[in-house]
Amino acid sequence: MGLRFRFRGIPFVATVVVVGVGIALGNWQVRRAGEKVAIAAQLHERGMQAPIVLGGGGGVRQDDRVGSRAHPTYRRIQVTGEFVRSWPVFLDNRPHAGRAGFYLAMPFRIAGSDRHVLVLRGWLPRDPREYGRLPEYATPQGTTTVEGVVVDKAGHVMQLGTAAALKPGTIVQNLEVMDVARASGLRLEPFFVQQTGPQVAGDPIVRDWPAPDTGIDKHRGYAVQWYALAAMAALFFVITGFRSGRKQVE
């Protein structure tokens, strides 16, 4: 007995719609992945460029002046100046290596100016026995040079409850540069400096920053799912068509 296919109009139209939507959304996710690949390449290129130098006393090129568009995200930066030791802020819910802890943020005055940058100094562990106890750390005194990477965010976590009023030593869940500028009265540049550098013996601050996630694999995974949905819809239409044809013959 030969195979017979029974064509049905309504299932055919529904299949065409599902296949069309699946392919269109899959193509969109592929394009998004391509865009993210280009972004990742750009970030890598920025990381290979010579660092922006601020407050070093040797002058700063016009293209690298503070606040200019020449401060792209993930560009390396070197800032000479002094930490504002009286204004630490602790970002809560920042685990590291399976341990609860904080990110320490602190304003840093650029040498030779009244401008500041907000430095993310690194990760500090939370005391498991006393929830609200602040960790101990050391801050360099006098003029020092901080090396790091320009980032536009300190990382966002789910806000639980109402945010506390910002003041020195506050534990917060999320932090914006302009919030610190308003609360402290300091002139802050509109970006963070994610401090880098080797671990100093005896220093509890850890600077093992997570690599930026551009989401390339996520978009590729979504594309596969949409293409699979389109393929399954087409296959389902063909299989049910042959089954209906066989029943019709019987």
* pLDDT given for residue 127 in this prediction: 85
Span 201-223, pLDDT tens digits: 677 899 988 776 667 888 889 99
* Residue 48 covered by a domain: no
* pLDDT given for residue 204 in this prediction: 86
173 & 223 share domain: no
d(CA 19, CA 53): 54
* Residue 16 covered by a domain: yes
115 & 182 share domain: yes
Q: Name the residue range of residue 161's domain.
A: 75-195
* Residue 58 covered by a domain: no
C-alpha to C-alpha distances, 142 to 80, 110, 139, 154, 159, nearest whole angstrom: 10, 12, 10, 26, 36
* Residue 54 covered by a domain: no
Assess contact for 20 and 46: CB atoms under 8 A.
no
pLDDT tier at 88 (50, 70, 90 boundaries)?
A: very high
Which of 53-62, 133-142, 203-212 has the lowest average pLDDT? 53-62
* pLDDT given for residue 219 in this prediction: 87
103 & 161 share domain: yes
Cα-to-chain-centroid distance, residue 36: 13
* pLDDT given for residue 201 in this prediction: 67
d(CA 82, CA 146): 9
Q: Indicate if the pLDDT at residue 198 is higher than 80.
A: no
* Residue 53 covered by a domain: no
pLDDT tier at 185 (50, 70, 90 boundaries)?
A: very high
20 & 104 share domain: no
* pLDDT given for residue 187 in this prediction: 94
Q: Indicate if the pLDDT at residue 153 is higher than 50.
A: yes
DSSP label of 48: H
Span 22-42, pLDDT tens digits: 999 999 999 988 887 887 777
- Give the total number of structural domains in the chain: 2
Q: Indicate if the pLDDT at residue 60 is higher than 60.
A: no
140 & 184 share domain: yes
137 & 232 share domain: no
* Residue 111 covered by a domain: yes
d(CA 208, CA 218): 24
Average pLDDT for residues 224-230, to the nearest whole number?
93
Residues in the chain: 250
146 & 226 share domain: no
* Residue 46 covered by a domain: no
d(CA 107, CA 86): 9
| Percentage of the chain lying above the pLDDT 70 cut | 86
pLDDT tier at 2 (50, 70, 90 boundaries)?
A: low
Q: Indicate if the pLDDT at residue 193 is higher than 60.
A: yes
150 & 116 share domain: yes
* pLDDT given for residue 152 in this prediction: 87
Q: Indicate if the pLDDT at residue 234 is higher than 50.
A: yes
Question: First and final CA of the chain: distance in angstroms?
Answer: 10
Which of 30-34, 61-65, 101-105, 209-213 has the lowest average pLDDT? 61-65
- The bridge status of strand 76-83 relative to strand 52-54 is parallel
Q: Indicate if the pLDDT at residue 160 is higher than 70.
A: no
93 & 129 share domain: yes
Average pLDDT for residues 45-58, to the nearest whole number?
74
Average pLDDT for residues 173-193, to the nearest whole number?
93
226 & 164 share domain: no
87 & 191 share domain: yes
* Residue 177 covered by a domain: yes
228 & 191 share domain: no
